[in-house]
């Protein structure tokens, strides 16, 4: 069965009164039909749909999502919007240059979900790398 391992480490020697070091690794089954790894260049002041479904994504309704704003992007940021189609949409994150997000999305909305990225820079394109893998 295909798996995906994600690890996050938070570390700082001077952020708090004592040193901070926390690390977590998870291995997830990614056995669904929706698996994407791409790089996109989003034109200035434009948005693009990264993932769109017309129904719930698999039995578990989980879609593992990773998105990274490359370090060469401008400081305006890239907004990540999640829309459960039977509810309102929301901007989930603003990724500044070099920022990334990893999220197990609950994608079990009966009418499907849409995940979009919007370049907030009015004059320069932005490049993102992103991954989706569904658990069916």
Residue 130's pLDDT is: 98
Residue 124's pLDDT is: 98
**Is residue 96 a part of any domain in this protein?**
yes
**Is residue 113 a part of any domain in this protein?**
yes
**Is residue 128 a part of any domain in this protein?**
yes
Residue 123's pLDDT is: 98
Residue 135's pLDDT is: 82
Residue 76 phi/psi, 5° resolution?
-70, -35
CATH number of the domain within which 47 lies:
2.60.120.510
Q: pLDDT of 53-85, one tens digit each?
A: 876 655 577 889 999 999 999 999 999 999 988
Q: Which range of residues forms the domain containing residue 42?
A: 32-135
Q: Give yes or no for a contact between 79 and 120, defined as CB atoms under 8 angstroms apart.
A: yes
- Which of 67, 71, 64, 62 has the alpha carbon at shortest distance from 79? 67
Structurally, the chain folds into a number of domains equal to 1
With b meaning 16 or more CB within 10 Å and e meaning fewer, what string describes 50-78?
bbebeebbbebbbbbbbbbbbeebbebbb
**Which parts of the chain register pLDDT below 50?**
none
**Is residue 49 a part of any domain in this protein?**
yes
- Which of 27, 49, 13, 8 has the alpha carbon at shortest distance from 133? 27
**Is residue 27 a part of any domain in this protein?**
no
């Amino acid at each position: 069965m295909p798996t995906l391992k994600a690890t996050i480490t938070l570390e700082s020697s001077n952020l708090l009164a004592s040193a901070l070091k926390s690390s977590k690794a998870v291995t997830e089954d990614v056995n669904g039909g929706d698996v994407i790894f791409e790089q996109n260049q989003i034109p200035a002041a434009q948005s693009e749909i990264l993932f769109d479904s017309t129904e719930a994504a698999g039995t578990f309704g989980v879609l593992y999502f990773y998105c990274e704003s490359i370090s060469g992007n401008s400081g305006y940021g890239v907004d990540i919007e999640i829309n459960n189609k039977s509810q309102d949409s929301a901007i989930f994150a603003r990724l500044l240059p070099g920022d990334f997000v990893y999220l197990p999305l609950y994608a079990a909305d009966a009418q499907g979900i849409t995940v979009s990225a919007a370049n907030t820079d009015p004059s320069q394109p932005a490049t993102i790398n992103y991954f989706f893998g569904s658990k069916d």
